[in-house]
Amino acid sequence: MTDQRIYNFNAGPAAIPLQVLKEIQGSFLNFNGSGMSITEISHRSSYFDDVINDAVTRVKRLLKLDDRFHVLFLQGGASLQFAMIPMNFLLEGDTADYVNTGTWSTKAIKEAQIQKKNYQVVASSEDKDFSYIPKDIKFSKNAGYVHLTSNNTIKGTQFHEFPDTKGVPIVCDMSSDIFSRPLDMEKFGLIYAGAQKNLGPSGTCMVIIRQDMLDMANENLPSMLKYSTYVSKNSMYNTPPCFGVYTIDLVLKWIEEEMGGLEKLEEYNIEKAGLLYDFIEASEFYSTTAEKFSKSLMNVTFRLPDVDLEKKFIVQATEKGFGGLKGHRSVGGCRASIYNAATMESIKALIQFMASFEKENK
């Protein structure tokens, strides 16, 4: 087995900044002089209080959040949020608007349907196999919320601008592009994100909820399914995913102190994705699957001339140290997930490999 690190293009769990991994490695056996690993300390200790409070502070600073917003760390992933959201915010007679842009939106809609909640699918890109983001959407005036999925990891599409919902709060699954760019948080009543793509390891879901949204939530629910439970206990009603929160805190520190914040990070992400898309679009061998103005900055999905060449491409890429380039099993093809932690070096190396593969197989 080699100690050599690969170029990691996995869709999730995905790459974590090397600097963060080294910091974890250096303190893993003795966290902050405690004589214990971060995986061993009590979540009721001052050591962990410092970690979770620092993470909350950094989230609020990066997104410019005021005291109306609560930052929570939950378990159950984004998938639990698919169910918790209608459970908390759709009482009898309430309705919500959903925009269907692919697999994760479909799963969110299904959870509202299972609970027999009132909802409308006000826009969908299913007619073109979810290859684009719908525009000019007509939202309901009386909706309790509008549910969006900001980035589609499987189809490689992304909301580059969020729609005008005429004051209806947006609830958004941002699992795969959170903290990749600045956000106007006034539009959002709640955002949520599984950590394993752009924030840290799997096992933690970040939720940011605005107070007016919280005020509308159903309180007649089991404790673990109410947002108010986590707000009132600073995410520590029960034992939180301590290691996940610790890693997220270090990733947020990296974004602030090494990458220069979200504005600079967005520029970097645009430059990275631009290099790869420009190469693919100039090629007659590779082709992207998403429509031009909907292409994701996080997940670049592409095809080769035939399935056999795609299989050969994946095998040779793996041999050369490029991991995670196989497309999602539901769609096939290839995919490079280039989240925040993907370096410019890795993009340039991938392009060099792709150019060489094209030359040898054209």
Cα 71 to Cα 52, 142, 202: the distances in Å are: 10, 27, 18
The answer on 159 and 62 residing in a single domain is yes
Question: Is 104 a catalytic site residue?
Answer: yes
Listed residue (114, 113, 135, 116) closest to 124, CA to CA = 135
Per the residue annotation, which of 97, 117, 173, 226 is the catalytic one?
Answer: 173
Question: What's the pLDDT at 362?
Answer: 86
CA atoms in the 13 A half-sphere facing the CB of 215: 5
Of 229, 257, 285, the one marking the end of a domain is: 257
Does the residue 16 lie in any domain? no
The answer on 170 and 211 residing in a single domain is yes
Of 192, 227, 257, the one marking the end of a domain is: 257
The answer on 223 and 271 residing in a single domain is no
Domain limits for position 300: 260-361
Does the residue 303 lie in any domain? yes
Question: Is 173 a catalytic site residue?
Answer: yes
pLDDT tens column, 226-274: 999 999 999 999 999 999 999 999 999 999 999 999 999 999 999 999 9
The residues, any chain, with a CB within 8 Å of residue 323's CB and separated by 6 or more, are: 6, 7, 8, 9, 10
pLDDT tens column, 145-200: 999 999 999 999 999 999 999 999 999 999 999 999 999 999 999 999 999 999 99
The answer on 171 and 53 residing in a single domain is yes
Residue type, 6: I
- Rounded distance between C-alpha atoms, residue 248 and residue 56, angstroms: 10
Per the residue annotation, which of 197, 226, 295, 326 is the catalytic one?
Answer: 197
Question: What's the pLDDT at 1?
Answer: 34
Does the residue 338 lie in any domain? yes
Per the residue annotation, which of 104, 117, 177, 254 is the catalytic one?
Answer: 104
Question: Is 308 a catalytic site residue?
Answer: no
